[in-house]
Amino acid sequence: MKRITSRIESGKPVRAVVVGGGISGLSAAWYLRRAANDARIPVETSLLEASNRVGGVLRSERRDGFLLEHGPDCFISSKPEGIELACELGLESELIGTNPKCRRSFIVSNGRLVPVPQGFYLLSPVSLSALIKAPMFTPWGKLRMAMELFMPPRTDVGDESLASFVRRRFGEEALERFAQPMVGGIYTADPERLSLAATFPAFLDMEREHGSVIRGLGRKARNGAESSASGPRYGLFVSLSGGMERLPQALAERLGPGVVRAGTRVQSLSRDGLTRCWNLTLASGERVRADVVILALPAWASAKLMEGVDAELARRLATIPYASSVTVNLAFEREAFAAGLPDGMGLVVPEREKRDLLACSFSTNKFDGRSPDGKILLRAFMGGALRPDVAELDDGDVERRALSDVRDLLNFQGEPVFARVAKHRATMAQYEVGHLEKVARIQAGAAAHEGLALIGNGFKGIGIPDCIREARAAAMEMIGAVKSNTMIGVNL
Ligand SMILES: Cc1cc2nc3c(=O)[nH]c(=O)nc-3n(C[C@H](O)[C@H](O)[C@H](O)COP(=O)(O)OP(=O)(O)OC[C@H]3O[C@@H](n4cnc5c(N)ncnc54)[C@H](O)[C@@H]3O)c2cc1C
């Protein structure tokens, strides 16, 4: 710390390097700069990104008047960090909500589209009247779900899988026909392995506090909190008129080319035994020295870089599994849909339907400006933890499978105007049972390395606002530590 202080005193900036130019890394660089300005600490930030573009999985493309989203197509607005960042970047006027006329969504049940019933919230009905009206359950299934009101709460405090929780409280049918597809569309996860505590802790709290999820949700609804909940709450999702990639583009522009270095893969990381500086070796052979390093990478990529610094931490990082997913944008003439496109945002497909499709967004309905007049844009979502084989298929095969399922479910005629396949290999962290303990140990391990922060979607949330929140927290903590001279061990 003495050296960092004397560096600042001698007019030299603190050298901060962010590795990874996805939304996590770009946000970290942005908030590092902001926090440093606020604290009046001179910090020279560089962001090193392996690929030739920034944004990571956020990728939008304009083609023939369509706006294609190859990665995420929106983010949740109830977590404020996404909207706050967009506003800070001057993108407020570009924020768009989902189309209010088409806010419902569908679930596939025995090959047919059934609207996600009103009064359901992700895993559970909010009331018995909502349950009675739900078309996708058998009478026995409904009865079993209603019995949730009388199921004793679990006394074991250990983590539990989402499947175990739903099965225990609501029964098998609720899991197969509702919870699995609703959650599959968000986490692309295997519900038998997905940690409830790491993904939907509110349901655990309701069980503990109210003795029943239905009762807990009902009370919240009466208090007005969840009264308009329906399925994956599309009404709460926002995007940008120019596409999601506007966010990383704006960040990169505002940070400037002096900060962002695309096409720069970090090959290895080490620590100088004498100076305690970080040394980053790039794929080009160039060496970069840093006082602080933020790794904003998938956990497996951080693991590789940490191997030479802390083998145990690297091993722990490598235990966070990642799944691959695939999107297929499908563009059509409107006439291809003789009966029209169903008036919703999209559909989710339960695993029990035995299809390749996980979900499909009706992009034309979901957000304005996604397709020209007279055309329709759909986006199929495939792969995930339950279907790792899909990301290994060639693009033509993926396209054929997506089309086959979509044709069957939405009943269109003819062929699409074009199709675009995008594969996202090992980008979706899987929060398996025990995830929170894993993350706590990783954080404790990382804390032993002064001037190091680990962020990205592997730890405390996979959504875009979660990634931004973690990046901001890491940046503020770094600058806070420099400011208060407590960054013990950064002996520069
Ligand atoms: C298909 C898909 C759809 C999604 N939909 C949504 C959605 O609708 N809403 C939502 O909120 N979230 C969604 N998510 C999740 C969310 O988009 C991601 O969790 C988030 O964008 C991850 O950002 P990141 O910066 O942490 O990681 P990434 O975007 O994976 O970025 C990591 C970056 O690090 C770079 N890199 C890797 N190794 C190195 C190295 N050695 N040196 C330098 N650079 C390196 C990579 O090239 C990459 O650019 C979706 C994810 C996917 C894949």
**Distance of CA 269 from the midpoint of ligand 1 (Å):** 21
Ligand 1 contact, 72 CB (< 6 A): yes
485 pLDDT tier (thresholds 50, 70, 90): low
CA–CA gap between residue 312 and residue 446 (Å, rounded): 10
Atom index in ligand 1 nearest the CA of residue 325 equals: 1
Residues 22-32: pLDDT tens digits?
Answer: 999 999 999 99
> Is the beta carbon of 122 within 6 A of some atom in ligand 1?
no
Q: Answer for the pair 478, 262: CB distance below 8 angstroms, yes or no.
A: no
Ligand 1 touching residue 326 (CB < 6 A)? no
Place of tokens 């295997």: 190
Q: How far is the CA of 445 from the centre of ligand 1 (A)?
A: 23
Q: Which of 182-191, 227-236, 399-408 has the lowest mean pLDDT?
A: 227-236
What share of the chain in percent tops pLDDT 70?
Answer: 94
CA of 80 from ligand 1 middle (Å) equals 19
155 with 187: CB under 8 angstroms? no
pLDDT (mean) for 256-261? 93
Taking only the tens place, the pLDDT of each residue in 293-323 is 999 999 999 999 999 999 999 999 999 999 9
Q: Cα(21)–Cα(51) distance, rounded to whole angstroms?
A: 9
What SS3 state is found at 71?
coil
247 CA from centroid of ligand 1 (Å): 13
The pLDDT value recorded for residue 119 is: 85
Which residues are CB-neighbours of 362 under 8 A, at least 6 positions away?
A: 102, 341, 342, 344, 345, 346, 347, 376, 378
- DSSP E strands in 151-219: the ranges are none
Give the model's pLDDT for residue 6. 64
Mutate to test the pocket of ligand 1, among 249, 297, 358 (most ligand atoms within 8 A of CB): 297
CA of 376 to the centre of ligand 1 (A): 27
Angle at 311 (CA atoms; ends 276, 269), nearest 5 degrees: 45
Total residues found in the chain within this entry: 492
pLDDT at 356 over 90: yes
The kind and range of the H/E element at 398 are helix 395-410
Q: Are 279 and 285 in contact (CB under 8 A)?
A: no
In this predicted model, what pLDDT tens digit does every residue of 99-152 receive, in sequence order? 988 888 999 999 999 999 888 888 888 888 888 988 899 999 999 999 999 999
- How many beta carbons lie within 10 A of that of residue 118, not counting itself? 17
The number of the ligand 1 atom at minimal distance from the alpha carbon of 467 is: 26
Confidence of residue 393 (pLDDT cuts 50, 70, 90): very high
Residue to probe by mutation, ligand 1, list 69, 390, 464, most atoms within 8 Å of CB: 464
Residue 460 carries which side chain, given as an amino acid letter?
K
pLDDT in tens, 431-482: 999 999 999 999 999 999 999 999 999 999 999 999 999 999 999 999 998 8
Q: Pull the structure tokens for residue 464.
A: 């875009």
Query: What's the gap in Å between 297 CA and the centre of ligand 1?
Result: 8
Domains annotated on the chain, with CATH: 2-55+245-320+433-483 (3.50.50.60), 60-79+95-102+322-429 (3.90.660.20), 119-231 (1.10.3110.10)
Region label for 342, one of left (φ > 0), alpha (ψ between -120 and 50) or beta (otherwise): beta
Range in 172-186, 189-203, 240-254 with the lowest mean pLDDT: 172-186
Give pLDDT tens digits for 52-84: 999 999 999 999 999 999 999 999 999 999 999
pTM of the model: 0.94
Q: How confident is the model at residue 490 (pLDDT cuts 50, 70, 90)?
A: very low
Q: What are the respective helix, strand and coil percentages of the chain, to the nearest 5?
A: 40, 25, 35
From the CA of 396, how far away is ligand 1's center (Å)?
24
Q: Give the residue with greater pLDDT, 489 vs 475.
A: 475
pLDDT band at 277 (very low <50, low <70, confident <90, very high): very high
Q: What are phi and psi of 282, to 5 degrees?
A: -90, 165
The beta strand positions in 20-139, using DSSP E, are: 43-48, 60-63, 66-69, 75-76, 95-97, 106-109, 112-115, 120-121, 124-125
Tally Cβ neighbours within 10 Å of residue 484.
10
The response to whether residue 218 sits with its C-beta less than 6 Å from ligand 1 reads no
Ligand 1 contact, 268 CB (< 6 A): no
Higher per-residue confidence, 232 vs 50: 50
Cα–Cα distance for residue pair 364/8, rounded to 1 Å: 53
CA of 57 to the centre of ligand 1 (A): 4
Taking the C-alpha atoms of residue 218 and residue 236, their distance in angstroms, rounded to an integer, is 20
Residue nearest to atom 41 of ligand 1 (CA): 266
Per residue in 211-249, pLDDT tens? 999 999 988 877 765 444 444 444 589 999 999 999 999
User: Mutation test of ligand 1: which of 57, 267, 306 has the most ligand atoms closer than 8 Å to its C-beta?
Assistant: 57
Tell me the pLDDT band of 183, cut-offs 50, 70 and 90.
confident
pLDDT for res 241: 97
Following DSSP, what letter does each residue of 413-426 receive, concatenated?
Answer: -S--SEEEEEEEEE
Question: Of 261, 306, 420, 427, which is best to mutate to test ligand 1, by the most ligand atoms within 8 angstroms of its C-beta?
Answer: 427
Ligand 1: centre distance to CA 341 (Å): 31
Find out whether the beta carbon of 239 lies less than 6 Å from any atom of ligand 1. no
CA of 415 to the centre of ligand 1 (A): 32
Residue 60 CB less than 6 A away from ligand 1: no
Ligand 1 center–CA 17 separation, angstroms: 18
* Amino acid letter, 242: G
Q: Which residues contact 256 (CB under 8 A, 6 or more apart)?
A: none
Per-residue confidence (pLDDT) for residue 228, from 0 to 100: 46
